[in-house]
Structure 1
């Protein structure tokens, strides 16, 4: 044990015992985050002016901060694609249709990967549902 842990007062609360504060945190208690926000709120305009001035002087870090607040980075968006996908076909056939769409240039590889991942998720959900129904059937037979 370290010196700090040897000299620290023993905790009054131990796991499993009732909460020493069952009503929860009292209303109006200000936590550290709220104190920081309040401190920065008082000087927010001045801080923004300093960052803007530094950005205009050519400070790239200040420019990045300012631009991130003014115009957040644009997220990549996939183009809309159209190809045949038989929703009543088995999942393996749907995956094959996606691969054919990639090979024909109707679908990009990244979108295909996402779609096949979605098919895998559906397959996993179906497997869980199937197991659940089998368990229910087995338990019903045992009664």
Structure 2
């Protein structure tokens, strides 16, 4: 799809007499000194920001739980879930099917939580894909050397 086709498919707006490929009706562009409406709104918000923040903090201190939640959400980092380290029989040099079987056995024995086991198995599968790409590159290089 060309740019012209995209523009034709775009929703109508602006000057309806303008068609893609026409000369610009405003070749000099936006006159210097005109401030974009978004910038004007941002400037207005910035002017009153100190008062808004003070009011929200004051409300939080006076028992407004929504204001308190807002203040806490902005000043404290959100907690990330962290998994505990798991220990089970695992040989990273073993074939991949053996590795996956070891993870499944760890889940069955209760040594590995199911969600962590799933992540480990997905990591093994990703590694398998990467190894396949490496092997293909090596084979291709060998064929090109012939």
If the TM-score is normalised by the length of the shorter chain, which range does it land in?
0.5 to 0.7
| Inter-CA distance 125–3: structure 2 relative to 1 (3 Å threshold) | closer
- Of 99, 102, 105, which aligns to 2:107? 102
Unaligned runs of 5+ in 1: 14-29
| Inter-CA distance 104–59: structure 2 relative to 1 (3 Å threshold) | same
- Provide the aligned C-alpha RMSD in A: 3.2
- Give the corresponding residue for 1:80: 85
Provide TM-score, normalisation by structure 2: 0.67
C-alpha displacement at 1:42, in angstroms? Answer: 4.2
Aligned residue-pair number: 125
Correspondence 1:66-77 to 2 at 5 A: 66-77=71-82
Q: Deviations over 1:70-108 (max 9, x none)?
A: 223311111121112101101111111111111111110
| Inter-CA distance 81–2: structure 2 relative to 1 (3 Å threshold) | closer
Provide TM-score, normalisation by structure 1: 0.68
Q: Deviations over 1:86-143 (max 9, x none)?
A: 01101111111111111111110111111111111100100111111111112222xx
- Of 16, 26, 31, which aligns to 1:6? 16
